Amino acid sequence: MKKCLILLFLLLALSVGGICAMTFDIDKDKDTFEIYETVLHGDSSAVNGIAVKTEVYNAHLNWKISYTAGENPETDVKFTFYQERQYYDDYERVPAMDIYPVDGFGISSTSAISEEDLMGHYGKMAAVIMDVAGRTEPGKSRTEEVKLIDYMEYYELRFSFNFFQIEDNEYVQETLNEYFKIPVSEDAVYEVNILKNNAGEIISADLWRTSGGDYWALESLVTDDSVYLLFFGTLGKDVKGTDIYGESGIFRLPLLEAGQDGRKIDFDNIEIIRSVKYDTQYFRMLHGAEKQILLLYIEDGKLVFDVFDTEKNETVQLIPLFDAYDDIYIQELIQEEDLMLVQIDNGDFVLLSAQNGEYRPELTNNMEAPYYWNIDIDYDGENLAVVTEYNLNFHMWVFDNSSLRFEGEYNTGGIGGGNMSTRFINVEWV
Quick check: 121 and 105 in contact, CB under 8 A?
yes
Q: 3-state DSSP call for residue 24?
A: helix
Contact 343, 330 (CB under 8 A): yes
Check pLDDT > 50 for residue 23.
no
Q: b/e map of 252-281 (b: 16 or more CB within 10 Å)?
A: bbebeeeeeeebbbebeebbbbbebeeeee
* Tens-digit pLDDT profile for residues 205-223: 999 999 987 667 788 999 9
What is the DSSP secondary-structure string of 334-386?
A: EE-SSEEEEEETTSEEEEEEEETTEEEEEEEEE--PPP-SEEEEEE-SS-EEE
Residues 6+ apart with CB under 8 A from 262: 164, 165, 166, 167
Are 66 and 76 in contact by the 8 Å Cβ rule? The answer is: yes
Which residues sit opposite 376 in a β-bridge? 387
Higher local confidence (pLDDT), 170 or 5: 170
Handedness of CA 212, 214, 219, 220 (dihedral sign): negative
Phi-psi label, residue 425: left if phi above 0, alpha if psi -120 to 50, beta otherwise: beta
Task: Identify whether the C-beta of residue 397 lies closer than 8 Å to the C-beta of residue 353.
Answer: no
The whole-number pLDDT of residue 73 equals: 93
For residue 259, the surrounding DSSP H or E stretch is: strand 249-259
Instruction: Find the farthest-apart pair of alpha carbons in the chain and give their distance in angstroms, rounded.
Output: 93
Tens-place pLDDT, residues 81-91 = 999 888 877 77
Strand 249-259 relative to strand 262-265: parallel, antiparallel, unpaired?
Answer: antiparallel
Quote the CA–CA distance of 273 and 311 in Å, as a whole number: 9
DSSP 117: H
Model confidence band, residue 382 (pLDDT cutoffs 50, 70, 90): very high
Give pTM, 2 decimals: 0.83
Confidence of residue 419 (pLDDT cuts 50, 70, 90): confident
Share of the chain above pLDDT 90, in %: 63
Q: For 237-296, how does the pLDDT look when each residue is reduced to its tens digit (9 = 90+)? A: 999 999 988 898 999 999 987 777 778 899 999 999 999 887 788 899 999 999 999 999
Tens-place pLDDT, residues 103-143: 888 899 999 999 998 988 888 899 999 999 999 999 999 99
